[in-house]
Amino acid sequence: METSFDCIPCFVRQSLDAARLATDDRSVQEQVLHVVLWRMSQMSLRQSPLVLAQQVHRLVRDLVGQADPYHEVKQRANALALELYPRLAEMVARSDDALETALRLAVAGNVIDLAVQGHVDREHVEGAISHALAAPFNGQAADLTRAISRAESILYLADNAGEIVFDRLLIERLSPGRVTVGVRGKPVLNDATLADAQATGLTDLVEVIDNGSDAPGTLLHDCSEAFQQRFEDAELVIAKGQGNYESLCHLRRDIFFVLKAKCTMIAAGLGCPVGSLVVRRSGQRTGET
């Protein structure tokens, strides 16, 4: 996916958000902006948005001297989601179609995304849950259900901290023995890492592997060989969130992208309205319903 120029102001905003999370010192915030503006002025702006974002966030972490400016934000997102978990698990258990309900809640969890929203609040998440339970799916949700029923191995690529608790609701319905969850290899934005999988109990349920990369998505060439092998071997890949969609949507293999279309660029790429619950099949069988 080529970077839309619309992503450029957004990356500037993200660098400011990250700097503010790291420090209240306005001089440091200004320095981060200056250096990010300068570095971006030297980059090709037609690179993949994930590559640009990876570079910008590496730079910000260097400048603020913190390996994980989003650490506390991720902890809060995990705590909020864990607080909601018992009620949501009961909702799934009591529903007529537990798999569909869990899928809807997994999409709802995708609103926990600081990269787009700038913040996480309970009211917003509750709103997303109500919306996800009622709104139509955009794409091939029935295809995903069929693929799930047949697959012997599933690689589930997680997206954000907090959101992975919502993913857990879905993973619990997938016969977890055949599921491996992939998380980012290093902290970037509020993306889920192994620490978040551990903190939210996901590692007790399934095997969780990290992809070795600090891109806020899945740039396969940047992932560890072990991860690339697991990606190739998986019969079914379920990829959560915009970052995974941006980085994998061009691949010629069967992937189901599960996300909420939160930004106008992604929604335009998917051909759906902003806010849609998306289950989109990619690769060689794109277009089947």
Rg (CA), the chain: 18
Q: DSSP labels for 106-151?
A: HHHHTT--HHHHS---HHHHHHHHHHHHHSPEEE-HHHHHHHHHH-
Is residue 89 near a second copy by the rule CB under 8 A?
no
- Cβ neighbours of residue 162 closer than 8 Å, sequence gap 6 or more: 74, 76, 77, 78, 80, 81, 109, 112, 120, 190
* Residue 247 DSSP one-character state: H
Residue 52 C-beta: closest distance to a second copy, Å = 12
Pairing of strands 277-281, 255-260: antiparallel
Query: What is the total count of residues that contact a second copy (CB under 8 A)?
Result: 21
> Which positions from 9 to 48 touch a second copy by CB under 8 A, shown as an x/- string?
xx-xx--x---------x--xx--xxx-xx-xxx--xx--
Residue 216 C-beta: closest distance to a second copy, Å = 17
Give the number of C-alpha atoms closer than 13 A to the C-alpha of residue 107, restricted to the C-beta side: 29
Residue 48 C-beta: closest distance to a second copy, Å = 15
Instruction: Using the minimum distance from each CB to a second copy, give the nearer residue, 26 or 285.
Output: 26
Instruction: Using the minimum distance from each CB to a second copy, give the nearer residue, 30 or 62.
Output: 30
Residue 5 carries which side chain, given as an amino acid letter?
A: F
Residue 10 C-beta: closest distance to a second copy, Å = 7
Instruction: Using the minimum distance from each CB to a second copy, give the nearer residue, 11 or 231.
Output: 11
- Cβ neighbours of residue 113 closer than 8 Å, sequence gap 6 or more: 159, 160, 163, 190, 241, 242, 262
Instruction: Using the minimum distance from each CB to a second copy, give the nearer residue, 45 or 133.
Output: 45
Instruction: Using the minimum distance from each CB to a second copy, give the nearer residue, 9 or 86.
Output: 9
Structure tokens at 145: 């259900």
Residue 113 C-beta: closest distance to a second copy, Å = 17
Which of residues 8, 89, 99, 133 is near a second copy by CB under 8 A? 8
Site residues for a second copy per CB under 8 A? 5-6, 8-10, 12-13, 16, 26, 29-30, 33-35, 37-38, 40-42, 45-46
